[in-house]
A and B are shown apart, each in its own frame.
Chain A
Amino acid sequence: MSSNVTPTSKPVKTTGLHVGDAAPGVRKVDPILIADGVKRTFGGLTAVDVDHVEVPRGAITALIGPNGAGKTTFFNLLTGFDKPDAGKWEFDGRSLAHVPAYRVARMGLIRTFQLTKALGLLTVMDNMKLGAKGQTGENLFRSVLPFLWRKQEDEIEAKALEILARFKLDTKKDDYAASLSGGQRKLLEMARALMSDPTLVMLDEPMAGVNPALTQSLLDHILDLKSQGMTVLFVEHDMHMVRHIADWVIVMAEGRIVAEGDPHIVMQDQAVIDAYLGAHHDADLGSTDTEHVEVLKELIDDEQ
């Protein structure tokens, strides 16, 4: 697959993104995405309750947190796939509240999904072409007249070929997307997102289910997005990857932002350790739980 399976060079980190001390909700020098008081509850469960968060422009930001922290729900809220109970948030100065998902995408905020959504029974090329914005032929009445959209179609195809070549999928262009491997589908989904020239790319667990041989090439592609001037926000569990490529890390736990900062520093934050391991992870459970042990022993005696 990728020619450089081991990291060849250390990626260039973007620094100086924030204003003041790194703390949850810290102001950024140039935020692209700002969320304020975004709250989403499912019945009695508060999945997301974010007071304030800003995503820096032109950098790679990682959103991490233990399972159930509300990362994917937060993603869905930002991209219009779910509606919050309260809150406002804006992208590039434009409010995103009550904007449907497809309009969010047209503004230049493109997302991928945790469970890859390659369109199986479309060819790889058709998947790519679908990603392009503002197509004349996507209007029902104009679609009947090929001469109206043929030229644009050729341009889109040329662009798709160029991106596919970069992702090493060009030899697969006429195959059904369903015939690709899991990792290739992740690549395809990312390549498809690039067809619309997004300004902010949101990747939901780009590494999940990708075989190690493809990991490095995927990482390079994410770094590539930054060098092309795009902002990246991604959810990930793999801490090595986060440390390797992220310029900024936002940590979520139980729906809240508990820490923010540089990837190397934030990992040592007490709130982050608590979030992942539990607040009492270093306390001796035996000493606090003597009562329970007594009760258990009594129960066992009763049985006998």
Chain B
Amino acid sequence: MIDWIAIFSNAAQELISPTTAAYALAALGLAIHFGYTGLLNFGQAGFMALGAYGYAISTLSFGFPVWAAVLVGIGASVVFALILGIPTLRLRADYLAIVTIAAAEILRLVFTTNTFDALTGSASGLQGYKGGFADLNPIPAGTYGFSPFTYNAYDWWIRIVGWSLVVLLAVITWLIMRSPWGRVIKGIREDEDAVRALGKNVYSYKMQSLILGGVYGTLAGMIFVLPRAVVPANYQTSLTFFVYAILLLGGAATILGPVIGSMIFWVLLSFFSGFVARAVEAGWLPFMSQVQAGQLRFILVGIAIMLIVIFRPQGIFGNKKELAFVK
């Protein structure tokens, strides 16, 4: 028989898992880019990789303390955003899309290549950078919580830091989007020439938005690698598209959308993978092997997202009124 309790408790764990927090942060960054400013950034995976590698390399190779390693990651993503933005933000929106998707791939391949093996660990990646972060943990060693949320001190520490960051950045995003700055940003999304004609430096605003959302992605990359190792294969283009799926699921120009979207995405993914794997085990799906079952979850999540986009195209938190005017 199928162990439903295990399936549901595994799925429930994803609600507060650090990976969910990381995806929520990355999606919040994309909400600033795509939802509010209208920038088509298809390289969020690149910003996440810079966070992960910036943190890991400066810790492992240069022995930086945690705060300095975080600053290195943020600095790297600011530079990356400038490199992407300076040539493309004066052009039409699609050029940024082309450049970001290519640049993120270039970054991933640079991290994968053997040439820089001493720094990046090439394809096998990096680990052993968690010491500094774990030392900051004020929680005494031991196991806490109640089933299914029972974790040791380090696991709780990651979750607390990750979700505090999500709350902090969500509040900041909410504050800036209801300010005059946010008004300019949303104006640029609607028609940048009109905003330019009103005396706003559109180029500078788009650059600020690109950098800000990129920094969110970088912080997401750091949270993402704290419960696992840094592996270059994690930063493929598909990562960016999962983040986009989360954003559209929750609602592109919303604050809660990316956060709740990330939770739904990961709970569904975990539920489907648990369910399919056990269903195959129990012989419910005789035409399918375990390996095939591992892939089926992405198909099911894809269908779930399709249904949401068809029947609730504004996303879960989006404003239905906006859709009435979409050209």
Residues of A at the B interface (CB closer than 8 Å) are 79, 81, 100-103, 105-106, 110-113, 117-122, 126-127, 129-131, 133, 135-140, 143-144, 146, 149, 153, 176, 178-179, 189, 192-193, 195-196
Contact = CB atoms under 8 A, between A and B. Distances in A.
Interface of B: 172, 175-176, 179-184, 186-187, 189-191, 193-202, 208, 212, 321-322, 324-325
Contacts of B321: 176
Given A102-B200, A129-B183, A130-B183, A117 B175 contact: no
B180 A153 contact: yes
Contact of B200 (A111, A138, A143): A138
Question: Interface centre among B172, B193, B199, B322, by most A CB within 10 Å?
Answer: B199
Given A138-B180, A144-B172, A120 B190 contact: yes
Given A118-B194, A140-B208, 11 more contacts: A102-B201, A110-B197, A111-B197, A119-B186, A119-B187, A119-B191, A119-B195, A140-B176, A140-B181, A143-B175, A143-B181
A102 B202 contact: yes
Contacts of B176: 140, 143-144
A102 B201 CA distance: 6
Question: 6 smallest A-B Cβ distances: which pairs?
Answer: A137-B180, A105-B199, A143-B179, A178-B325, A117-B194, A143-B181
A178 B172 CA distance: 28
A117 B193 contact: yes
B49 to A, nearest CB: 25
Contact of B198 (A131, A144, A153): A131
B175 A146 contact: yes
Nearest to A117: B194
Contact of A179 (B191, B195, B325): B325
B193 A130 contact: no
A101 B175 contact: no
29 contacts: A79-B197, A100-B201, A102-B201, A103-B199, A106-B199, A110-B197, A111-B197, A117-B193, A117-B194, A117-B197, A122-B187, A126-B187, A127-B187, A130-B195, A130-B200, A133-B199, A137-B179, A137-B180, A138-B184, A140-B208, A143-B179, A144-B172, A144-B175, A146-B175, A149-B180, A153-B180, A176-B322, A189-B194, A192-B198
